[in-house]
Structure 1
Amino acid sequence: MTEPLDTTAPHVPSVLFVCVKNGGKSQMAAGLMRQAAGDAVRVASAGTRPGDAVNALSAEVLREVGVDITRERPQPVTDALVADADLIVVLGREAVVEPADGTPVETWETDEPSERGIDGVERMRLVRDDIAARVRELTARLSAR
């Protein structure tokens, strides 16, 4: 006998974070969202032209705040990932994602410290902190629904 479908279970929103290589900013956003929202949000990340590995400095500065993305691997944006998302967040100006069936797309033009001559781990910490603030705001919005 099959169990009846539980229609009282609350909908868990899903967010797809996208950047070009899926090695830095989108992986950082996904890791920070998992930390901030736990099981209250389903999280995925992908790239429009994925690279080969997660950016080592991105992983290093996330470890400083208790987030481990070292086991993550860049993956391409697929129709299935887009269709599964309730919200698509594009990080940066270069990646472009066409939404499916009216799925909202937000673009976060994140801080780019290298434009101010700040590089290395110092740059990545500033990027992390900018993304973390945006993730906290998004988490609050999603939990208010």
Structure 2
Amino acid sequence: MTTPRVLFVCVKNGGKSQMAAGLMRAVAGPAVEVDSAGTRAGTALNAESVQSLRDVGVDISGGHPQQLTDEMVAAADLVVVLGSEARVEPVGGTPVEVWETDEPSTRGIEGAERMRLVRDDIAARVEDLARRLAAPA
């Protein structure tokens, strides 16, 4: 059995997709190959995202945003797009799954509380995905 490869994508690759990748690495370890990218990659990680994961023992501080390429999509077994702003076209039959993640700022929730809610929403989805990937075909 080959190791599944998951690519997490958002717009800037500084927050949500980085969080999902870090959480998947923590949950699945070497059982899943993980990468992340942005459709319009930024230049730095979101400090609140980094701190929110640090609060649960996951360190993504050494990461950096990277620009999404067709080659990255084609190399993945599954592409997960976080949020509705990023758009990813399938390449070579790679399935694309969209997660409409919670966005607390639309309800006036900001700062550490916002990031905790975002993190917890993504963490639940990552845990579900890890279980699906581990299940026999």
Residue 79 (structure 1) shift: 1.8
RMSD (CA atoms): 0.6
Superposition TM-score, scaled by structure 1 size: 0.92
Superposition TM-score, scaled by structure 2 size: 0.98
Runs of 4+ in structure 1 displaced over 2 angstroms? none
Number of the residue aligned with 2:18: 27
Any gaps of 5 or more consecutive residues in structure 1? Answer: 1-9
For residue 71 of structure 1, the aligned residue among 56, 62, 72 is 62
Number of the residue aligned with 1:7: none
CA shift digits 1:79-138 (9 cap, x unpaired): 221111000000000000111121111000000000111000100000000000000000
Amino acid at match of 1:22: N
Rg (Cα) greater in structure: 1
Count of aligned residue pairs for this structure pair: 136
How far apart in 2 are the matches of 1:131 and 1:37? Answer: 14
Matched residue SS, 1:131: helix
For residue 101 of structure 1, the aligned residue among 92, 99, 107 is 92
Matched residues, percent identical?
Answer: 70
For residue 103 of structure 2, the aligned residue among 93, 112, 118 is 112
How far apart in 1 are the matches of 2:92 and 2:39? Answer: 19
Structure 2 residue 41 is the aligned partner of structure 1 residue 50 = yes
How far apart in 1 are the matches of 2:112 and 2:97? Answer: 27
Amino acid at match of 1:73: H
Number of the residue aligned with 1:138: 129
How far apart in 2 are the matches of 1:53 and 1:117? Answer: 25
How far apart in 2 are the matches of 1:99 and 1:15? Answer: 13
